[in-house]
Copies of this chain bind each other. A is one copy, B any other.
Amino acid sequence: MEQDALGSESLDRAFMALADPVRRAMVARLSRGDATVNELAEPFAITKQAVSKHIQVLEHAGLVTRSRDAQRRPVHLDAAALERLTAWIDQYRLIAESRFRQLDQLLGAGVSHHEQENTPAKKKEELK
């Protein structure tokens, strides 16, 4: 049932990585081209060690990769990893939206209600 082809921990790290404005700004910067730690550190008032940690978080989350070019370690954004995240979210968003449309048809047009509906049947599953 779980089509988590990319493991729960991987999603943990990916979403956690994006749950920080500094790292999101880095993603935004990297979308325009590879950059080094120092270049990524410039806009922020934090030490380079902190920036290095942020990049390690992004790397461990699979969102960026790194290569070596002399002393420099350019950081590269992995667009495919971003796509995997949107795929996970859309999976459930589309289910919810289609369910909402079904309900809207059942209630008939013109009935403006607040969005609450009950599940037709309670499925009590036990998995621990």
Contacts and interface: CB of A to CB of B under 8 A. Distances in A.
Given A16-B16, A39-B122, A119-B69, A11 B24 contact: yes
A65 B125 contact: yes
Interface string A95-108: 11101100000000
Given A15-B15, A24-B11, A89-B85, A35 B74 contact: no
Interface string A63-94: 00101010010101101101101100110110
A9 to B, nearest CB: 8
Given A24-B11, A33-B99, A86-B89, A119 B16 contact: no
Interface string A13-50: 11110111100110110111111100100111100000
A33 B97 CA distance: 11
Interface size class of A (residues with CB under 8 A): 35 or more
B32 A95 contact: yes
Given A86-B90, A128-B45, A118 B19 contact: no
Nearest to A69: B119
A77 B127 CA distance: 13
B18 A2 contact: no
A25 B1 CA distance: 10
A104 to B, nearest CB: 13
